[in-house]
Structure 1
Amino acid sequence: MGWKGILGFEYGIVQAPLGPDISGPELVAAVANSGAIGILRAPDWECPDYLRELIRKTKSLTDKPFGVGIVLAFPHKENLKCVLEEKVAVLQLYWGEVTKDVVFDAHQAGVKVVPQIGNFEAAKIAADAGVDAIIVQGHEAGGHVIGQEALIALVPRVVDLVASRGIPVIAAGGIVDERGYVAALALGAQGVCLGTRFLATEESYAHPTYKSKLVEMSNTEYTNLYGRARWPDAPHRVLKTPFHMEWKNLPSHENEANQPIIGRTIIHGMEKEIRRFAGTVPNKTTTGDLESMVMYAGEGVGLIKEILPAAQVVTRLVEGAQTLIQQQFAS
């Protein structure tokens, strides 16, 4: 069945690489130890030595395979080299075109390449490059959203595109429970990728205030309000916090560059100031006006009722999907 392994893993469940550092070694190892695919988030700047430490710390917490996610929109060549040298199981790529050269180099190192795409054309490019699986992100997803299509329409098209090539399709966007998992399987996906649900776990590096908002709130909005200066033309889905609702119509020519500092944080070992309208979510080190910081979440956030251990999230998905199929759909 669809929950059985893809890419050599026990289960077809992927924990998204949550930025900028929310999916750290503790979360990734917990997911990996449960038989699913945990993915670290590489820094958005070149720091291969630090990334190597991050990978090796994760290896000290699990003897299971895991992955590293790299955003191609930021400097990444040295980080990519580090990932291949460390021979992690999966290289997850996002927000940029996957080339045949990258796939070839990864395969030479024994690393599988799994890009996340948001439209049919990008899926074609990825398939032609020889990738090992494709994450199809729907418009329902939280955080930065690269496409405009709903998951229910896009997944079957990509499934049909790659069916003859044996490339597994992984559905992402708004999936938080076994019902979303089974729905993705019905669309033809062989696995699911969850961000918000793993964000709301005990092991995620998100600030407790952020986690509590994921449980308390149920509405999201697709916007370009945050991080316009640092990452232009990168829309995202966020919680409709009171701060967001007050400032959501900020004129398009304004951005975080000249805004007041509302907090401070440490991200991947670097001390950073957080300005109003920055695209930086609060992690455990963050101090300041947390209520005025961006909080990414997918449309399925209203189904999250509690903070759980990551392994329990995986178990509920697997057992829930099996039960749902047996009770509701078995003949």
Structure 2
Amino acid sequence: MGWRGILGFEYGIVLAPLGPDISGPELVAAVANAGGLGILRAPDWEAPDYLRELIRKTRTLTDKPFGVGVVLAFPHEENVKAILNEKVAVLQVYWGECSKQLVQESHCAGVKVVPQVGSLEETRKALEAGVDAIIVQGREAGGHVIGQEGLISLLPRVVDLIGDRDIPVIAAGGIVDARGYVAALALGAQGVCLGTRFVATLESCAHPTYKRKLVELDKTEYTNIFGRARWPNAPQRALRTPFFNDWKDFPAHENELNQPVIGRSTVHGIEKEIRRLSGAVPNVTATGDIESMAMYAGEGVGVIDEILPAGEVVKRLVDGAQLLIQTQFSGL
């Protein structure tokens, strides 16, 4: 069963690499210490020295293995070199080609490669590249969503395509509790990848207002109003905050570049202006009009009713999944 572990980790629970720096060393270490796979988020620009420091800081907080996520749509070659030199357990990649060369170089460094996919075609390419596991993202997921299919229809097809290959499938998209975990297992996954649930944790680097909104609000929307200039053709799922409801019909020919600055933030050590509709989610350093910033969330957000320690999230997922299977399904 998935809770017995994937890729050498104790449990089949993965912390998504939450951008831009929400899944920092404290959150990653907390998930790792609880038996899951924590994944740092690399900067969306070349910053190998900074990334190396981030990895080493995480190692001061946990002696367990962890990973680093890289968005291939942005400059990343030097960052990947730093990741491989540091020999982290997992390189997680997204939104770009996971090439055979990248996989070979990673394997030579002893690093496993896990791409996130949103379609069968992406899955085929990942299999050809020789990856170690695959995260299947459904359209229910929060943040940037690469595919168009719901998890319940896409996941079984990916599982069937992989067949008897020894490549674990990890489900992502709208999963926040043990019920979602067991449902993913029933569809053939060996683990689950959670983003929104881990944003709403004590160790998350999200701004307190962002965390509070994840508890207060229960509706999301698939949209493309955020970050059109910085990351074109990258739709996202966001909370339906009052700000979002006012701006959801933002004209398609416009973008954030002609919008006013509404705040500032330090992202991966760099001071940045935040323009309205830029897509920058508020981290703990953000100042300004926080409630007018992007707040990404998956469709499962309505099940989140409290901010928890990350280790407690992992424990509830594991204990809850075991109990559900033993009490609800063992006699079937």
TM-score range, shorter chain: over 0.9
| Counterpart position of 1:307 | 307
Q: Which residue of 1 aligns with 2:82?
A: 82
Runs of 4+ in 1 over 2 A off after TM superposition: none
TM-score (norm 1): 1.00
Point out where structure 1 has 5 or more consecutive residues left out of the alignment: none
Counterpart CA distance in 2 for 1:60 and 1:212 is: 29
Trace 1:117-136 onto structure 2 (pairs within 5 A): 117-136=117-136
Taking the aligned partners of 1:246 and 1:6, their CA distance within structure 2 comes to 43
The corresponding residue for 1:248 is 248
- What code does the residue aligned with 1:119 have? S
Cα distance in structure 1, aligned partners of 2:303 and 2:55: 32
- CA displacement, residues 265-316 of structure 1 (integer Å, 9 cap, x when unaligned): 0000000000111110000000000111000000000000000000000000
Q: Give the Cα–Cα distance (whole angstroms) in 1 for the partners of residues 319 and 165 of structure 2.
A: 30
Please list the CA deviations of residues 204-263 of structure 1 after superposition, one character each: whole Å capped at 9, or x if unmatched. Answer: 000000000000000000000000010000000000001111111011111110111000
Give me the whole-angstrom Cα distance separating, in 1, the residues matched to 2:108 and 2:235: 35
Alpha-carbon offset, residue 165 of structure 1: 1.5
Letter in 2 for 1:243: F
Give SS of 1:159's match: helix
Deviation at 1:163, TM superposition (A): 2.0
**C-alpha distance in 2 between matches for 1:291 and 1:16:** 23
Identity %: 75
In the alignment, the residues of structure 1 paired with residue 183 and residue 213 of structure 2 have an alpha-carbon distance, to the nearest angstrom, of 26
Residue aligning to 2:297 = 297
Partners of 2:167 and 2:161 lie apart in 1 by 9
| Structure 2 portions without partners, runs of 5+ | none
Structure 1 residue 166, shift from structure 2 partner: 1.2
Give the distance between the partners of 1:53 and 1:283, measured in 2 at CA: 19
- How far 1:148 sits from its partner (Å)? 0.3
Alignment-mate amino acid for residue 132 of structure 1 = D
C-alpha separation in 2, matches of 1:226 and 1:32? 31
Q: Which residue of 2 aligns with 1:237?
A: 237
> 1:52-201, aligned counterparts within 5 Å?
52-201=52-201
In the alignment, residue 122 of structure 1 is paired with which amino acid? E
Q: Is 1:276 aligned with 2:281?
A: no
**Distance in 2, Cα, partners of 1:163 & 1:13:** 22
Matches within 5 A, 1:312-331: 312-331=312-331
Separation (CA, whole Å) in 2 of partners of 1:239 and 1:135: 23
Distance (whole Å) between structure 2 residues aligned to residue 208 and residue 291 of structure 1: 11
Q: Secondary structure at the match of 2:227?
A: coil
> Counterparts of 1:191-230 in structure 2 under 5 Å?
191-230=191-230
Counterparts of 1:175 and 1:24, CA distance in 2: 21
1:48 aligns with 2:30: no
Q: Which amino acid aligns with 1:175?
A: I
RMSD between superposed Cα atoms in Å: 0.4
* Aligned counterparts, 1:21-36, within 5 A: 21-36=21-36
Distance of 1:273 and 1:36 partners within structure 2: 34
User: 2:91, 2:177 → 1: CA distance?
Assistant: 25
CA distance in 2, matches of 1:162, 1:4: 20
Distance 2:276 2:114 in 1: 34
Aligned residues: 331
What secondary structure is seen at the aligned counterpart in 2 of 1:69?
Answer: strand
The CA distance in 1 between the partners of 2:220 and 2:259, in whole Å, is 24
SS in 1 for 2:4: coil
Offset at residue 113 of structure 1 (A): 0.2
Q: Following the alignment from structure 2 to structure 1, what is the Cα–Cα distance between the partners of residues 224 and 148?
A: 14
TM-score, with normalisation over the residues of structure 2?
Answer: 0.99
Q: In structure 2, give the amino acid aligned to 1:8.
A: G
SS at match of 2:96: coil
Rounded to whole Å, the distance in 1 between the matches of 2:118 and 2:2 is 22
Report the Cα distance in structure 2 between the residues aligned to 1:265 and 1:70, rounded to whole angstroms. Answer: 21
Corresponding residue SS for 2:103: helix
The C-alpha deviation readout for 1:158-215, integer Å capped at 9, x for no partner, is 1111122111000000000000000000000000000000000000000000000000
